[in-house]
């Protein structure tokens, strides 16, 4: 059966985003490699690259959700990808003229982060406009599966480009990939229907999304869990290039290979998620995936040079497999559960907590790496990841995620008097 592959507009969205994600995965390795190899940055400065890329969620996350709910999603996506193309395209240009510095690299990561906030909110709300409700799991699995495949190819390609053409070439590849995505999204024929609603003050619209998340047991639980686990995952990931490159002495090509091999776990997670959901139920499969992720991070700090890198590959493989499957299940749940007219505001309200911890975790990972050592920091972050799992207890008795209650108004908290 063709499934969504027979849907022209979905194929265009998938092609554009797969290309863009490949570029972003290359850049996620290339940016810290440029910092470490070209600019001789400190451990803290390298971790700061992760922090500033996610800082925009704290700054504009809430109003962005309200703005995106008011607008057609496709034009927002086009503008964001165009901005990202220009921002990351300027980095190799600056390098060519000898003007590339660490502040310039941090500024590019920050501006790219602002574009990503609006793009992510629009992108997640756009998929339901292209596919039917019964096709959302398939759509999310295909998109997440291709993202996982780019996580396999991206670091390896970044390492290869760094070896042959220099680390900055990976950032140029990212800029080109955003251009391809712009062309694909422009070619989509389907036009979503934006229901004209009464224009209430932005502050009231933001509060409406916040109230929905705070008052809903399941969304509140996912938000808190995401915040705690992101501290661990980001703190871990923000220093992994330093750990592999400096602590273990791996060359750029080997660093890319290690990250690529570990990322194959995400491909497996995306391939198996449908079977896991059918076999155990979506909610129970989600818990099983997170229970698998929690202890895998403990393998990373056991790594040593040479063949001793195998534990790090296994750690990444297990974490990627569990997280990708988990993310597909929870994203499908949100798309089916949240009222469409509030979707971006609900997402941004959760993201301000989930993603808001990421810049803090990036700074924390870098600071701890310099204070107690990089390997010791990996142990700490692995422990935090295990400690986050009990937050998910409200899902323990469920087989399936709850369904949306049609016509349900947003739950409201008592108003201050």
Question: What pLDDT, in 10s, does the model give residues 166-210?
Answer: 778 888 888 999 999 999 999 988 777 665 555 667 677 777 777
Supply the pLDDT for residue 110: 92
Averaged confidence pLDDT in the chain: 82
Supply the pLDDT for residue 417: 33
pLDDT digits (tens, 9 = 90+) for 302-318: 889 888 889 999 999 99
Contact call for residues 329 and 282 (beta carbons, < 8 A): yes
373 vs 359 pLDDT, higher one: 373
Domains 1-188 and 206-403 share a fold: yes
Torsion of CA 113, 114, 119, 121, to 10 degrees: 100
How far is residue 331's CA from residue 124's CA, in Å, rounded to a whole number? Answer: 8
pLDDT digits (tens, 9 = 90+) for 244-300: 888 888 887 788 788 878 888 888 888 888 889 889 999 999 999 999 988 888 998
Model-level pTM greater than 0.75? no
Domain boundaries, the chain: 1-188, 206-403
Instruction: Note every long-range contact of 367-375, with CB atoms under 8 Å and residues 24 or more positions apart, other chains counting.
Output: 367/44, 367/47, 368/235, 369/43, 369/44, 369/47, 369/239, 369/242, 370/42, 370/43, 370/44, 374/43, 374/239, 374/242, 374/243, 374/246, 374/247, 375/243, 375/247, 375/301
Q: Which fold has domain 1-188?
A: Growth Hormone; Chain: A; (1.20.1250)
Distance (Å) of CA 193 to CA 14, 72, 73, 77, 163: 21, 8, 10, 16, 48
Supply the pLDDT for residue 314: 93
Q: Check whether 65 has a pLDDT greater than 50.
A: yes
Q: Check whether 366 has a pLDDT greater than 70.
A: yes
Residue 83 pLDDT class (50, 70, 90 cuts): very high
Q: Check whether 115 has a pLDDT greater than 60.
A: yes
User: Stretch 15-37: mean pLDDT, rounded?
Assistant: 83
Residue 53 pLDDT class (50, 70, 90 cuts): confident
How far is residue 112's CA from residue 38's CA, in Å, rounded to a whole number? Answer: 21
Residue 413 pLDDT class (50, 70, 90 cuts): very low
Q: Check whether 104 has a pLDDT greater than 50.
A: yes
Supply the pLDDT for residue 407: 43
- Give, to the nearest 10 degrees, the angle between helix 136-165 and helix 310-337: 140
205 vs 233 pLDDT, higher one: 233
Q: In CATH, what is the architecture of 206-403?
A: Up-down Bundle (1.20)
Q: Check whether 144 has a pLDDT greater than 90.
A: no
For residue 341 the two structure tokens come to 């007219």
User: Stretch 124-147: mean pLDDT, rounded?
Assistant: 79
Burial string for 331-361 (b: 16+ CB within 10 Å, else e) reads bbbbbbbbbeebbbbbbbbbbbbbbbbbbbb
Q: Which of 162, 155, 126, 165 is nearest to 143 (CA)?
A: 126
User: Stretch 30-50: mean pLDDT, rounded?
Assistant: 80
User: Stretch 326-340: mean pLDDT, rounded?
Assistant: 84
3-class secondary-structure state, position 187: coil
Least confident interval from 32-46, 179-193, 362-376: 32-46
User: Stretch 141-155: mean pLDDT, rounded?
Assistant: 75
For residue 263 the two structure tokens come to 């990322």
Supply the pLDDT for residue 199: 62
Q: Check whether 319 has a pLDDT greater than 80.
A: yes
User: Stretch 321-331: mean pLDDT, rounded?
Assistant: 88
Least confident interval from 66-70, 78-82, 159-163, 378-382: 159-163
357 vs 156 pLDDT, higher one: 357
Residue 404 pLDDT class (50, 70, 90 cuts): low
Residue 107 pLDDT class (50, 70, 90 cuts): very high
DSSP 415: P
Supply the pLDDT for residue 86: 94
Return the percentage of the chain with pLDDT > 90, whole number: 17
Supply the pLDDT for residue 409: 45
Supply the pLDDT for residue 338: 80
Supply the pLDDT for residue 242: 84
For residue 408 the two structure tokens come to 């349900």
Report how many helices (DSSP H) and strands (DSSP E) the chain contains, helices first.
15, 0
């Amino acid at each position: 059966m063709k499934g969504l592959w027979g849907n022209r507009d979905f194929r265009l969205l998938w092609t554009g985003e797969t290309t863009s994600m490949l570029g972003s995965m290359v850049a996620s390795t290339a940016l810290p490699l440029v910092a470490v190899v070209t600019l001789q940055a400190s451990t803290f400065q390298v971790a700061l690259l992760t922090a500033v890329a996610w800082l925009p969620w704290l700054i504009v996350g809430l109003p962005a959700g309200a703005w995106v709910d008011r607008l057609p999603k496709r034009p927002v996506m086009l503008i964001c990808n165009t901005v990202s193309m220009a921002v990351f395209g300027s980095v190799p240009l600056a390098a060519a003229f000898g003007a590339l510095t660490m502040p310039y690299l941090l500024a590019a990561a920050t501006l790219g982060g602002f574009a990503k906030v609006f793009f992510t909110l629009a992108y997640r709300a756009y998929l339901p406009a292209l596919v039917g409700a019964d096709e959302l799991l398939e759509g999310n699995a295909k998109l997440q599966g291709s993202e996982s495949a780019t996580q396999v190819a991206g670091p390896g390609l970044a390492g290869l480009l760094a070896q042959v053409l220099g680390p900055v070439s990976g950032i140029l590849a990212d800029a080109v990939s955003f251009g391809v995505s712009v062309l694909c999204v422009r070619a989509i024929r389907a036009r979503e229907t934006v229901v004209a609603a009464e224009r209430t003050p932005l502050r009231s619209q933001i509060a409406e999304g916040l109230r929905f998340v705070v008052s809903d047991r399941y969304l509140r639980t996912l938000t808190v869990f995401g915040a705690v686990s992101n501290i661990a995952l980001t703190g871990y990931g923000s220093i992994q290039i330093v750990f592999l490159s400096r602590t273990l002495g791996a060359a750029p090509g080997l660093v890319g290979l290690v990250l690529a091999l570990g990322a194959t776990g995400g491909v497996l997670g995306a391939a198996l998620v449908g079977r896991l959901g059918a076999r155990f139920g979506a909610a129970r499969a989600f818990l099983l995936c997170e229970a698998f992720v929690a202890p895998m991070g403990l393998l990373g700090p056991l790594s040593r040079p040479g063949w001793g890198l195998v534990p790090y590959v296994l750690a990444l493989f297990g974490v990627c497999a569990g997280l990708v499957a988990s993310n597909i299940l929870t994203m499908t749940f949100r798309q089916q559960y949240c009222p469409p007219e509030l979707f971006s505001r609900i997402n941004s309200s959760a993201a301000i907590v989930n993603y808001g911890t990421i810049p803090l975790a990036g700074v924390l990972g870098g600071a701890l790496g310099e204070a107690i050592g990089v390997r010791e920091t990996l142990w700490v972050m692995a422990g935090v990841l295990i400690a986050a799992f009990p937050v998910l207890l409200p899902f323990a008795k469920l087989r399936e995620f709850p369904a949306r209650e049609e016509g349900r108004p947003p739950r409201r908290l008592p108003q201050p008097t």
